[in-house]
Structures are given as C-alpha cells and as structure tokens.
Structure 1
Amino acid sequence: MIYLDYCATTPMSDRALQVFTKASQNFYGNPSSLHDVGGQAKNLLEQSRKTIANSINGAEQGVYFTGGGSDSNNLAIKSLVKGKKGHIITTSIEHFSVINTFLQLEEEGYDVTFLEVDKYGVVSIPALENELRDDTILVSIGYANSDIGTIQNLSEIGKLLKQKNIVFHSDCVQAFGKTIIDVAALNVDSISLSSHKIYGPKGVGAVYISPSIKWTPIIPNTSHENGFRAGTVNVPAIASFAEAAIQICSAMEAEQKRLKKLSEQLLASLDKHNLSYSLIGHPEDRLEHHLSLCIHGIEGQYVMLQLNQKNIAISTGTACKVGEQNASKTMLQLGYSKEAATELIRISLGKQTTESHIKKTAEALNTIVNEYF
C-alpha cells in the first residue's frame, strides 16, 4: 500500500516505538507516587516536558500533556475562558475540535464570532481587527489548515492581539514538525500539539500556555498536570512523543525540501497527463507535504475509493469526520459551489514517500479519470 494520508496520522518511527517499549517496561510507575518507582517516572515525565518546551521555544512549566490534538484544543480553549464572560473569536475553517468547542461555549452564553476567510483560507488581519471588541477575551486561529494546507500569519495576528491584551490560542497540530514553531516569535499565548501527526504514538498530545497567562482548571481539584487534565498521565507515550518531536524537528528543514520537491513532481505529472484539476488553498503559504486537489467532474470519495483499490491511500479531508464527508465544509466556507466541494481529495506525503510512489499515484489518477470519462 502506498500511504499518502500523513495529515490523518503517521506510522510510529522505529525510535519512538523503541522509547515507548522501554519506558513501558522500566518507567511504569505513577509519577504522582512518592516511592522511587514513581519518582523515576516523574523524572522521565519532566524530561519529556522540557523536550517539548524546547521544540517550541517555550517554558517547560507551560507544557501540559493531554490525550491528543482534539483533547488539547478543547482543554486549552475552555481553560482559558472558564470563569470569564465576553466575546470569543475563531474562524469558519477550524478543525472540528475547535469549532465544536466554540459552539458549546456559545450555548453556555459566550458571544462567538466565526471569522470568514478569503478564497485561499487566509485570515484578513483588518477584518479580524474590525471584529475585536472591548469584551473580546480570546481568539483561536489554527496555524495550518488540515483540509487545504494554508498557513496563517500568526506572528502579525498575535502582534495585533498583544496590543489589545487579548489571549491568542492556535491549533498547531498540523504545523508541528513541518514548519518552525516559536511561541515567542509567533506571538501566541497558547498552542495545541499532537503526537501521532509526527510519528509518535496515538492518544497523547500537549498544550502550551504561557506561564504569564491565567487559566482555570476545567475540573476543580484535579491533581495531575498541575490541574490541567484529570487522570494518570501516560508516561511511556509522552516519552515517545518527546522522542518523535526531537527526530522530526532536527530533520525538518531537509525533509520539507524533499517533500516539496515530491509535491511539485506530482503536480507536474498531473499537468503532463492533461488532467483538469485545481489546487485548493494558498498557492505558496501552505504546508510543503500537503496537496488539496479537486479533480474536475469527479467526486472525491469516488477517486479515493478507486485509488484504494489500486493500493494507494489518500483522503477526502479531515479524518475526524470520516463517513460524513459529502461536500467539504472548508471549501464551502471558501466560496466554492457544493458540486466543487464534493470533488476535494487530500494527498499528504511523509517520510516513507518516494519518487516511485509519486509516479504510480499520478499514473493511477490518470487511469481513473480516463476510465470515468
């Protein structure tokens, strides 16, 4: 199987798997326990916390481990607004874990603005500024969109929000390990991360909240993670996550150059075959490994299923809504027709992707299109 769905999840790296296995065998204690076995696990947990903090140029006391990216978004946003009243802002193309959290907060009485974006999925800073109010307490805008790959200018957005003294959260799940994340340079107060997007284990993620920002625990009197998340932390998975972060960040520059070249080769091959398609999202400010395409006249699910029969795995967008995708919600928000929005396919490359995979995928797409028409 040629796997081209790295935005949905990634296989664990050999090193991350080794660390997970070793930690499971030797650091199985509860880090909250006071005996030596617990102390050993606690030391590994804190080393891992420092590793994640270093990977984003943050303070280690601002890192809190969670159950994954969606859990991180939910906990971060709710913890930052709990006990406050007022206006909160996000965009119309956020991940469902952000959208659904904002919808729940709206039901609880918060005044919510879902900011529209341009045809490339980019947030207009003047439009954002126009929506800010005296009672705006939080803005949440994702760094890189999972459906279309567009990267936002967080630094300029954050600069504006700092001037207004408004807390700024960003879903950085798709961006982590693919572009530099420096929380100071990006002017963000809080970010969400996930392990399984960077060749680490599933079921673990992290939230970073600047130590200068006040937050309130969702569940009172929670002891783990300084009250941020209830439940015994998964130390082996966290250690594996930290190792995956070290690996992907150290190789990021070279790997992104390689993946950009492969992405360009795929598009060039489609052009050579004279396929009628559109690249969705920003043409330049986008993730290097991410291609959102509309093959004109063919539903995305049909293309995905036909490729699957040819042992090529792609997707039609965010996996969290699998089985419900007919028309891409993101594309509809960008102003595309419902018909065009059903044509979306997402091809995302990763460590195991080769030139041979790209060539076979282009040929398979050409065959599918020719047989369809």
Structure 2
Amino acid sequence: MIYFDFAATTPLDKDAAEVYLKVATEYFGNASSLHDIGGQSSALLDNCREELAQILGVDKKGLFFTSGATEGNFLALEALLSAPLKKGNHIIAGMAEHSSIHGELRRLEKAGYEITLLPFDDSGLIDIEKLANEIKPETILVAVQHVNSEIGTIQPVETIAEICKAQQIHFHSDCVQSFGKLDLKSITPLVSSISFSGHKIYGPKGIGGVYINPRTHWDPFFPGGSHERGFRPGTVNVPAIAAMTVAAQKIIGQTSTNHDTFALLRDTFIEALKPIKDRVVVYGTDAAESQLPNIIGLRISGIEGQWMMLECNRLGFAISTGSACQIGMQSPAKVTQALRLSTEEAKQFIRISFGKSTTVEEVLQLTESIVKIVQEF
C-alpha cells in the first residue's frame, strides 16, 4: 500500500529507532533518581532539552516534555490561564483548531469562560481584522494553530502575536504541523507558548513538548508533581525524547529540500487532476508563503470523502478524510466548518499528505486512480 497520510503520522526513522533502543536499554534509569544510573539519564535528558531548545530558538528553561501535543495543548492553555497578563474570562480561538484545543475550550466554557471561535476566509486563513474586532477588554488568551492540519495553510501568527502583545493577551500556537517543516525561530520569541509532537517528524508516538515563555509564572495543573518541574506528572520518557531529538535534528537539516520536493509533488498532483477539474475544489491559498505544500485538502463534488477513501484503500492507497483524531469521532473535519461548507460539501472532503519518501510516480498513480474512480462513478 502507498501511504498518503503523513499529516496524521509518520514512520519511525531508523536512526531514531536505534537511539530509542540504545537509550531504553543503556540509560534506563529514572532521570529523577539521585544515583549514578539516574544521573546518566538526567544528563542525557538535559542534553536533549538543550538541543531541541536550540532548534526552536528558545530558552531551555521553558521547554517541557509531554506525552504528545494533545496533552501539550491542554497543559499549555491551563498554564497560561493560571498566569493571565490581566483580568478577564474571554478566549479567542480558531474554528479549525485541533480537537484537543476544542475539548479544552468546551471544558473552560463550562467553567465560566467566554469562547469566541474565528472562521477562515476563502483562502483558509484567519481574518486578522476580524480577530482584532473580536478582542474585548476581558480577552486574556488567543489560540491559533501555526499550520492547519487539514489544508496546510500557514496562519499569520507573527501578526497575531503583535496584536496580542499590544493588548496584554497570552498567545498559544499549536505548531504540530509546522515543526520540522518551517523554521520556528521567527515564531517562538513572539508567543506565550507552543506545542509540538514527535510522531509528525518521524519520531516515536507518545512524546511531544511544550514551550512556555519562562517569564510566565504558571501554576501546575496537577498538584504535587515533581517531574518536569511540576508541569506534568509521570516518569519522563527519556528514550522517546532522545529518539524525537534525533528525528528533529535530521528533519531540520532537510527542511529546504523537503519543501521543494513537496511543492513539486503538489503541482504534479493538481495538474494530474485536470481531467476532472470541473468537479475538484482544492482548499488553501496560492500564496507560497501561506501554504505548506505537503498537505492538500480538497473535495470532489458528488462523491463522499469516506467512499473515496475506501475506494483508494481498495486500490492500495492510504488517504484520509481529515484529522485522525476527528475521524475517530465520526465528525466532519473542523476545517470544513471554518470554511463554512455545507453539510453535503463537508462530507466530500478528503486530505492527501506527502512525506519525504513520496515520489512523483506514486503521486501520478494516485491521481490516475482518483480520476478513474470519478469517471466510473
């Protein structure tokens, strides 16, 4: 089967896998233990934290490891709300945020917070003017993802950060899809917090991280925790952290090459759909600076996305109908709501995403199959 769902997860890099096995067998001590074996794990953990901090362009004192970005998003929002820059109870977030953000927002709404959700414009971007107009004196937090996981649009987080700073508002950005594909060093000095994940960059599943500006004096959500300076409980997963660090080092060195390859694959994919172009709508923007090329969100009029996904699967291609977390709840992709698609249009949505192993030949095989499916439908 040919894989086109890299935005959901990636295969574990072989070098990262070797490091995981080595650390799990030779550096198995609890990093919080005071004996020498624990000290070896602690030293390795600190080295990984320092290396990832350099990659992100942040102070390592603000970098915390989590079980992934879902936990990271939750803990980051809770940390920022425990240390607001001013009094208030109003939160603004993107309508197309990851389900982990929406789950936390629903909980906060029940706790008395007022929530405002921002849709996308026709290009799949947050309308900055609308964001500014929604800000109130009581607004204390804005949460907008850096890159949308379903159509690949790059949100104007620098501009959003400037607006938030001027209004004394914390700004959290989910950087899961941008980590390893874009240079985050221009983003991290501007935000209050970011989250990232290992399994999107050919690292292991079950590991990720959060950066919180060290000037934020947050309170821990889980009381009594001693790991990660109280940010989260549980023994630190040093083998997975080491493997994620190796994966990050490798992919950062390939960013420019991968981007050019993905741009070629995207152009090839869209060009090859010309025989059915009257029925295809590709979501996103043509502006290269606002579009990550490895994610293509589209719909084919008259054909439900789930049916197209199953047909592609039958023919040996793995595609998706949106975020895997959302699919598990059998709900429409969040981006379809943000784009204000009708219920029928939302059901037609599919996502194609490329990885560093994807070839032009594979893309042409996929498009040929999609065209055939549509013509025979």
Q: TM-score, normalised by structure 1?
A: 0.96
Question: SS in structure 2 opposite 1:88?
Answer: strand
Q: 33-42 or 146-155, which moves further after superposition?
A: 146-155
Task: State the shift of 1:317 in Å.
Answer: 0.0
Of residues 290, 293, 301, the one that matches 2:298 is 293
Q: 86-95 or 327-336, which moves further after superposition?
A: 327-336
- 1:159-170 correspondence to structure 2 within 5 Å: 159-170=162-173
- 1:135-284 correspondence to structure 2 within 5 Å: 135-182=138-185, 187-272=190-275, 274=277, 276-284=279-287
**What per-residue deviation string (whole Å, max 9, x for no partner) do you get for residues 137-158 of structure 1?**
1111100111121110111110
Contact in 2 for aligned 1:204/1:238 (Cα 8 Å): yes
The ranges of structure 1 where at least 4 consecutive aligned residues each deviate by more than 4 angstroms after the TM superposition are: 183-186, 272-275
1:134 alignment counterpart: 137
Q: 115-124 or 261-270, which moves further after superposition?
A: 115-124
Q: Are 1:316 and 2:321 counterparts?
A: yes
2:20 alignment counterpart: 20
Task: State the shift of 1:224 in Å.
Answer: 0.3
Contact in 2 for aligned 1:201/1:240 (Cα 8 Å): yes
Question: SS in structure 2 opposite 1:64?
Answer: strand
Question: SS in structure 1 opposite 2:273?
Answer: helix
Task: State the shift of 1:179 in Å.
Answer: 1.2
Task: State the shift of 1:321 in Å.
Answer: 2.2
1:71 alignment counterpart: 71
Aligned partners of 1:267 and 1:151: how far apart in 2? 19
The one-letter amino acid of 2:21's match is: T
Contact in 2 for aligned 1:123/1:152 (Cα 8 Å): yes
Aligned partners of 1:192 and 1:303: how far apart in 2? 32
Q: 80-89 or 57-66, which moves further after superposition?
A: 80-89
Q: 312-321 or 133-142, which moves further after superposition?
A: 133-142
1:94 alignment counterpart: 97
Aligned partners of 1:364 and 1:44: how far apart in 2? 48
2:128 alignment counterpart: 125
Change (3 A) 1:270 1:182: same
Aligned partners of 2:80 and 2:277: how far apart in 1? 50
Change (3 A) 1:183 1:33: farther
Question: SS in structure 1 opposite 2:185?
Answer: coil
Aligned partners of 1:184 and 1:308: how far apart in 2? 38
Contact in 1 for aligned 2:326/2:333 (Cα 8 Å): no
Aligned partners of 1:115 and 1:350: how far apart in 2? 30
2:80 alignment counterpart: 80
Aligned partners of 2:266 and 2:61: how far apart in 1? 38
Aligned partners of 2:37 and 2:321: how far apart in 1? 46
Identity of aligned pairs, percent?
41
Contact in 2 for aligned 1:87/1:135 (Cα 8 Å): yes
Aligned partners of 1:214 and 1:161: how far apart in 2? 18
Contact in 2 for aligned 1:327/1:341 (Cα 8 Å): yes
Task: State the shift of 1:184 in Å.
Answer: 5.2
Aligned partners of 1:13 and 1:331: how far apart in 2? 32
Task: State the shift of 1:213 in Å.
Answer: 1.7
2:372 alignment counterpart: 367
Aligned partners of 2:273 and 2:314: how far apart in 1? 20
Report the number of matched residues: 372
The one-letter amino acid of 2:177's match is: Q
The one-letter amino acid of 1:337's match is: S
1:5 alignment counterpart: 5
The CA RMSD measured in Å over matched residues stands at 1.5
1:338 alignment counterpart: 343
Task: State the shift of 1:185 in Å.
Answer: 6.3
Q: TM-score, normalised by structure 2?
A: 0.95
Contact in 2 for aligned 1:198/1:244 (Cα 8 Å): yes
Task: State the shift of 1:122 in Å.
Answer: 1.3
Task: State the shift of 1:258 in Å.
Answer: 0.6
Task: State the shift of 1:273 in Å.
Answer: 5.7
1:103 alignment counterpart: 106
Task: State the shift of 1:183 in Å.
Answer: 5.3
Unaligned runs of 5+ in 2: none
**What per-residue deviation string (whole Å, max 9, x for no partner) do you get for residues 63-99 of structure 1?**
0000001111011111211376521111111111001
Task: State the shift of 1:128 in Å.
Answer: 1.3
Task: State the shift of 1:115 in Å.
Answer: 2.1
Contact in 2 for aligned 1:219/1:230 (Cα 8 Å): yes
Change (3 A) 1:210 1:186: closer
Unaligned runs of 5+ in 1: none
The one-letter amino acid of 2:142's match is: V
